[in-house]
Structure 1
Amino acid sequence: MNQKADNIVGIDLGTTFSVVAHLDAAGIPRTVTNAEGDLTTPSVVLFEENEFVVGKEAAKAAALFPDKVAEFAKREMGKPMFSKSFGGQSFPPEVIQSLILEKLKRDAADKIGPITKAVITVPAYFNEPKRRATQDAGRLAGLEVLAVINEPTAAAIAYGVSEGFLNAQGESQRAETILVYDLGGGTFDVSVMRIDGQHYEVIATDGNVMLGGTDWDRCLAKHLVDRFADEHLIDPCQDPSAMSRFMREAEEAKRTLSARSQANVLIEFAGAVMRTTVTRAEFDELTAHLLERTRFTVNKVIKEAGLGWDEITRVLLVGGSTRMPQVGQMLKQQSGRAADRSLSADEAVAHGAALYGKILKSREAGQPESIQVTNVNSHALGVLGVETATGRPRNRVMIPRNSPLPSSHTAQFETHKSGQPNVAVQVVEGGDSSGQNSTMIGKCVVHDLPPGLPAGTPVWVKFQYDADGMLGVAASLPSVGITARLQIRRQNGLSDSALTDWNDKMKEIYSALDLD
């Protein structure tokens, strides 16, 4: 066992499966197996009386006790509470994620020694509340989260190292412009990146945090349910346990169809048995609309990057759901070349996160960084104000989506009425021009304006978004010499008191289960 006190792990906290990796003595990323000896751990939690189970056994229990099992918590990050309660207790999604992280940490520590620091990956299209919730989950699991990095970026770093793309000095041997297509169990990301020398530059990114392999499963499960109902005149839809079994069978059939042209399915419900066969062609037809959504996003990202397919030198596949043949076929049709499957679809992201941990460690020690990463913001940042002429809300974009970081912008606004005592600058992320679907991430307020200040007094607002994820907002009224400043750093999504309360609850649970 490696007993290093400064173990830094990379964690791919996935919607359906999670992975932990570290760097061995030679600096090579290695996946750390869990207590069951597996490379991946199902991101599933089973809540039983006075205890919980995480991983494979919890996943097995989902079909029998769906009301006791938490799945797909990653999709609910940023919400106040998980959609299901257990034993009369409601949990924030980050608490459920922390239980998964705690198992990952504990199992890995048994193999490589104590773990206190981690780099955790998230979909590139995660917004700030979801990223904050991920940090909170790490903290609740007893981890110092050094960074929350985008999954496609982590995969690109892993690619550069694993393929010998970097020399001994950490520099790439040739410039590449790669498209990373990341289709996991519950989320989807596309990023276009340029790798040149030691520099990894994200040019454009997009995605959907509610699209992943489980949606393919759901389509096939519905098809199987319809067949069952037609054959036996019994509708399983009202039975949660039955629907969970249909989902499991659909997932298994999907996996089979990634290797074979057809899959045999056997399902029993309410004393009736259905034996049926699903072909790959049927599956592809059932799920064509899902694949089309990814194709649309891929082409959108390439357009936003200002590139054509002829300028993409490699298409890199990441995420377990890219094993479906339809994915590779679609990308070959679009790009004219076979997609690169050289990375482990399951392990690449965690490996890249572990490598990024080394970068952060070198930076902290004042050592030269082997890799430099330039990112973009996946969501626009703006000011939510009011149109003077119409009185309607308006989202004034300050830093557009896919802007290289660091980035800054200054714009002029005006006070709305005479004698206004203060000016509040509402900082939002995403949304349309009217502010619909935007997320409030902070407010910069200029207080104590002088009496009698006329309407239409200029207010200058400056956004400064640094590469480390800190947004600085300054609002100033030059005519009266007043300025207010706001620093928006990725703080905890839960309040300090809520975090403390949940921390105490987690400690009690771990103590009762002898998991200290």
Structure 2
Amino acid sequence: MTAEADSSRPADRSHGANDAGGGGRQRHRRRNRRGNGPRRPRPLPVGIDFGTDSSSLADFGPDGAPHVQPNARGELRTASAVNVSPNCLTLGTPFGDDQDADETQFEGDEPESGNAEGCPISMAGFKRMYQDSGGTFQRGGAAITAGGGPVTPKLLGAAFLRGFTRETAGNRPEDAPVVMTVPHAFTRTPRDAVRAAGRIAGLNVAETLSETSAAALAWLWKDTAADGQAVGRTRHALIYDLGAGTFDAAIVRTRRNELHVVAAEGDPHLGGRDWTETLAEDVAERFREKHDHNPFTRWRARQRLLGQCERAKLRLSQRPVSDVPVIAAGRQDVFEVTRDRFEGLTQDLLRRTRDLTEFLLENAGLEPEDLDVILPVGGAAAMPAVRRMLGELFGPRATPDHAARKAFPDPRTAVAEGAAVYAAMLRATAGANGDGPPPDVPARVRRRLRAITLEEVSAHSVGVEIEDANVPGRRLNHVVLPRGVRLPTAVQMTFGTTVADAEGIRLRLVEGERPEAADCDRLGEYRITGLPPGLPVRSPVTVHISLDERNAPHVTAHRALAPGTNGAQRAHHNLAPLTVEPLRLAPGSKEEAEARNRLARLMPHPR
């Protein structure tokens, strides 16, 4: 590494000498800057809210503001769905909305399993499966395939992102820096899966950002953008993010250009889709009682019913009664659903969000009256029951007047807007450090982008996998960094070797609160080498474990030197560095390259 660094310096000096001597290269650059020569347009920073049911994309424009880009139909959000056929993938619509209105023709000849018969299947909600380490989709016990291979959540995510970004981002350069958002409650595995899906789709994924932090950043930017001056007083805000697939809540503290996440909680298995499925189960049971048939036994019938219940849920936010049509087993019927019935069916789901919000306040050491701003985010947060619950907890601050609401970002697109602001922050900081060009925005906007600081907290505890001394073969989660600590953070631990004359140590980091290591997410695995021969059992090795600003783990290790080693210098240099090798596949691995090639074959024309 030193040789490469040394060899690069003369090359840099030679360029400088040529520029200073002849001046031609400098004059050529100046002509290009004036627009007298060809110049490649700088790609705009992009933020993507990759949602369970729908997604949105925003870019950070030269005017210093994030702009949400509409899709081909002029909509600000696009259904996160993919149509799967045996030999191709295309953008789809959720819940079978792409099917004909009269679906009775499908009931007799609908395939019982898989998709080998060639009928396209509209698949949505695959982001929820990112919380698992892998898996494939099945239908009736048979795998759903495309291009001769199984359909995985990561493939569907990449296919959607490929089509979605081509449709909304137009002909933007492929190297445009992209920030993708993830639920705060996601562990490392699903966060990495989101990054990988973006890379497979051909995106230049610069970073991922928690959805609650993105929404808070959009608010901070918009609230101070009118006059360009940041608010000087300290404020506390609650971000209540109820999306389709997950629920997150965070309390943030802002002052001028500082954004600190005080505390955050989330439930990755709770979202607006659960409200829809609860209503669909109730309607399906009413249909079964009347017609002696359960619509959920057929794929298409189930998808159609979920789509009708999703639309009914949206209508019930505007009026007290809605109808839900059902088509199954050659029969058609319509069931009336009142808002009161719907809210009664889902009151336990709403209670879970309230309990988590109250727990969040308790963890932050705050009372409801200590909060200055309440920011509901996500489509499901628009339900009347949610607004009433927030009003009961926080009073008038949960229902601000029109003047105050003008400073709030759109709840449907706030996450994408905040991600675009963060992408611009990364770009501006890179330009300030000489690692890349600054964005094409006014100088005052660049200064503000560089001035904003964002501090987050860890979503889960980090532990070291250790053996249970009392139960052979049992592996425990020895927590070294509790959840909720401010990032970046670090801890130093001393471990003993388990055998004499050890050649190395394998260290496994896990993420989660469960006592069993197998029940937690694998955060990282490392091989520590460089131990001298002849070390006795239980020889101490000091390990330094840290999490950076983005919750990424880093490990270094040292060995304590024996007394008297290095003579007088031992007091200042009493640790010998060891080699730490991460045992993880790096971005751009062979598997990702194969996945990109497969996606290109299945999706030659993204739309």
Q: What is residue 72 of structure 2 aligned with on the other side? A: 35
The separation in 2 between residues aligned to 1:94 and 1:422, in whole angstroms, is: 34
2:240 aligned with 1:181? yes
Matches within 5 A, 1:269-288: 269-288=328-347
User: Compared with structure 1, are the counterparts of its residues 399 and 62 closer, same or farther at alpha carbon in structure 2 (3 Å cutoff)?
Assistant: farther
User: Compared with structure 1, are the counterparts of its residues 273 and 95 closer, same or farther at alpha carbon in structure 2 (3 Å cutoff)?
Assistant: closer
The separation in 2 between residues aligned to 1:397 and 1:273, in whole angstroms, is: 56
User: Compared with structure 1, are the counterparts of its residues 135 and 33 closer, same or farther at alpha carbon in structure 2 (3 Å cutoff)?
Assistant: same
2:157 aligned with 1:97? yes
2:417 aligned with 1:358? no
Deviation for aligned residue 1:294? 1.2
Matches within 5 A, 1:87-126: 87=146, 89-110=149-170, 116-126=176-186
User: Compared with structure 1, are the counterparts of its residues 240 and 55 closer, same or farther at alpha carbon in structure 2 (3 Å cutoff)?
Assistant: closer
2:306 aligned with 1:247? yes
User: Compared with structure 1, are the counterparts of its residues 98 and 62 closer, same or farther at alpha carbon in structure 2 (3 Å cutoff)?
Assistant: farther
Deviation for aligned residue 1:229? 1.1
Structure 1, residues 413-446: CA drift from partner, whole Å, max 9, x if none? Answer: 2233444443222111114233242122222333
The separation in 2 between residues aligned to 1:374 and 1:198, in whole angstroms, is: 12
The separation in 1 between residues aligned to 2:364 and 2:227, in whole angstroms, is: 28
User: Compared with structure 1, are the counterparts of its residues 414 and 205 closer, same or farther at alpha carbon in structure 2 (3 Å cutoff)?
Assistant: same
Amino acid paired to 2:178? A
Amino acid paired to 1:363? T
Deviation for aligned residue 1:121? 0.8
**Contact 2:52–2:128 under 8 Å retained in 1:** yes
**Contact 1:41–1:55 under 8 Å retained in 2:** no
What is the percentage of aligned positions where both structures have the same residue? 29
Structure 1, residues 177-220: CA drift from partner, whole Å, max 9, x if none? Answer: 11111111111111111111111111111212221111111100
Deviation for aligned residue 1:321? 0.5
User: Compared with structure 1, are the counterparts of its residues 465 and 49 closer, same or farther at alpha carbon in structure 2 (3 Å cutoff)?
Assistant: closer
The separation in 1 between residues aligned to 2:66 and 2:180, in whole angstroms, is: 15
Instruction: For residue 385 of structure 1, give the secondary structure of its aligned residue in structure 2.
Output: strand
The separation in 1 between residues aligned to 2:364 and 2:484, in whole angstroms, is: 8
User: Compared with structure 1, are the counterparts of its residues 488 and 259 closer, same or farther at alpha carbon in structure 2 (3 Å cutoff)?
Assistant: farther
User: Compared with structure 1, are the counterparts of its residues 430 and 167 closer, same or farther at alpha carbon in structure 2 (3 Å cutoff)?
Assistant: farther
Deviation for aligned residue 1:23? 2.5
Structure 1, residues 459-491: CA drift from partner, whole Å, max 9, x if none? Answer: 322112221444221233314665435476997
Deviation for aligned residue 1:298? 1.1
Deviation for aligned residue 1:343? 3.0
Deviation for aligned residue 1:167? 4.8
Deviation for aligned residue 1:14? 0.6
User: Compared with structure 1, are the counterparts of its residues 233 and 109 closer, same or farther at alpha carbon in structure 2 (3 Å cutoff)?
Assistant: closer
2:489 aligned with 1:430? no
> Which structure shows the bigger proportion of residues in helix conformation?
2
Q: What is residue 404 of structure 1 aligned with on the other side? A: 486
2:462 aligned with 1:381? yes
Amino acid paired to 1:79? S
Q: What is residue 141 of structure 1 aligned with on the other side? A: 201
Q: What is residue 63 of structure 2 aligned with on the other side? A: 26
Matches within 5 A, 1:76-95: 76-77=129-130, 79-84=133-138, 85-87=144-146, 89-95=149-155
Deviation for aligned residue 1:57? 8.5
Structure 2 spans left out of the alignment, 5+ residues: 1-39, 104-109, 116-120, 139-143, 400-404, 433-445, 563-574
Amino acid paired to 2:462? L
**Contact 1:429–1:440 under 8 Å retained in 2:** yes
Deviation for aligned residue 1:120? 0.9
User: Compared with structure 1, are the counterparts of its residues 302 and 408 closer, same or farther at alpha carbon in structure 2 (3 Å cutoff)?
Assistant: same
**Contact 1:183–1:319 under 8 Å retained in 2:** yes
User: Compared with structure 1, are the counterparts of its residues 50 and 140 closer, same or farther at alpha carbon in structure 2 (3 Å cutoff)?
Assistant: same
2:541 aligned with 1:459? yes
User: Compared with structure 1, are the counterparts of its residues 59 and 93 closer, same or farther at alpha carbon in structure 2 (3 Å cutoff)?
Assistant: same
User: Which segment drifts farther, 419-428 or 258-267?
Assistant: 419-428
Return the TM-score normalized by structure 1. Answer: 0.91
Q: What is residue 393 of structure 1 aligned with on the other side? A: 475
User: Which segment drifts farther, 317-326 or 28-37?
Assistant: 28-37
User: Compared with structure 1, are the counterparts of its residues 490 and 41 closer, same or farther at alpha carbon in structure 2 (3 Å cutoff)?
Assistant: farther
Instruction: For residue 178 of structure 1, give the secondary structure of its aligned residue in structure 2.
Output: strand
The separation in 2 between residues aligned to 1:509 and 1:166, in whole angstroms, is: 46
Deviation for aligned residue 1:364? 0.6
Instruction: For residue 409 of structure 1, give the secondary structure of its aligned residue in structure 2.
Output: strand
Instruction: For residue 319 of structure 2, give the secondary structure of its aligned residue in structure 1.
Output: coil
Return the TM-score normalized by structure 2. Answer: 0.78
2:566 aligned with 1:496? no
Structure 1, residues 43-74: CA drift from partner, whole Å, max 9, x if none? Answer: 00002243322144995237978962221111
User: Compared with structure 1, are the counterparts of its residues 33 and 214 closer, same or farther at alpha carbon in structure 2 (3 Å cutoff)?
Assistant: same
The separation in 1 between residues aligned to 2:198 and 2:554, in whole angstroms, is: 25
Instruction: For residue 355 of structure 1, give the secondary structure of its aligned residue in structure 2.
Output: helix
Instruction: For residue 163 of structure 1, give the secondary structure of its aligned residue in structure 2.
Output: helix
**Contact 2:253–2:262 under 8 Å retained in 1:** yes
Structure 1, residues 313-346: CA drift from partner, whole Å, max 9, x if none? Answer: 2221000010111111112222334425743221
Deviation for aligned residue 1:226? 0.8
The separation in 2 between residues aligned to 1:265 and 1:344, in whole angstroms, is: 29
User: Compared with structure 1, are the counterparts of its residues 116 and 26 closer, same or farther at alpha carbon in structure 2 (3 Å cutoff)?
Assistant: closer
Amino acid paired to 1:343? P
Q: What is residue 414 of structure 2 aligned with on the other side? A: 348
2:527 aligned with 1:441? no
Q: What is residue 69 of structure 1 aligned with on the other side? A: 122
Instruction: For residue 365 of structure 1, give the secondary structure of its aligned residue in structure 2.
Output: helix
The separation in 2 between residues aligned to 1:382 and 1:352, in whole angstroms, is: 31
Deviation for aligned residue 1:252? 1.1
User: Compared with structure 1, are the counterparts of its residues 402 and 487 closer, same or farther at alpha carbon in structure 2 (3 Å cutoff)?
Assistant: farther
Matches within 5 A, 1:182-331: 182-331=241-390
**Contact 1:469–1:489 under 8 Å retained in 2:** no
The separation in 1 between residues aligned to 2:458 and 2:480, in whole angstroms, is: 12
Instruction: For residue 150 of structure 2, give the secondary structure of its aligned residue in structure 1.
Output: coil
- Larger Rg, first or second structure (1 or 2): 2
**Contact 1:62–1:244 under 8 Å retained in 2:** no
The separation in 2 between residues aligned to 1:22 and 1:339, in whole angstroms, is: 29
The separation in 1 between residues aligned to 2:414 and 2:398, in whole angstroms, is: 15
Q: What is residue 5 of structure 1 aligned with on the other side? A: 42
User: Which segment drifts farther, 250-259 or 430-439?
Assistant: 430-439
Instruction: For residue 47 of structure 1, give the secondary structure of its aligned residue in structure 2.
Output: strand
Instruction: For residue 97 of structure 2, give the secondary structure of its aligned residue in structure 1.
Output: helix
Amino acid paired to 2:456? N
User: Compared with structure 1, are the counterparts of its residues 319 and 491 closer, same or farther at alpha carbon in structure 2 (3 Å cutoff)?
Assistant: farther
Q: What is residue 4 of structure 2 aligned with on the other side? A: none
Instruction: For residue 366 of structure 2, give the secondary structure of its aligned residue in structure 1.
Output: coil
Instruction: For residue 345 of structure 1, give the secondary structure of its aligned residue in structure 2.
Output: coil
User: Compared with structure 1, are the counterparts of its residues 221 and 424 closer, same or farther at alpha carbon in structure 2 (3 Å cutoff)?
Assistant: same
User: Compared with structure 1, are the counterparts of its residues 4 and 451 closer, same or farther at alpha carbon in structure 2 (3 Å cutoff)?
Assistant: closer
The separation in 1 between residues aligned to 2:233 and 2:262, in whole angstroms, is: 18
Amino acid paired to 2:458? N
Structure 1 spans left out of the alignment, 5+ residues: none
Matched length: 510
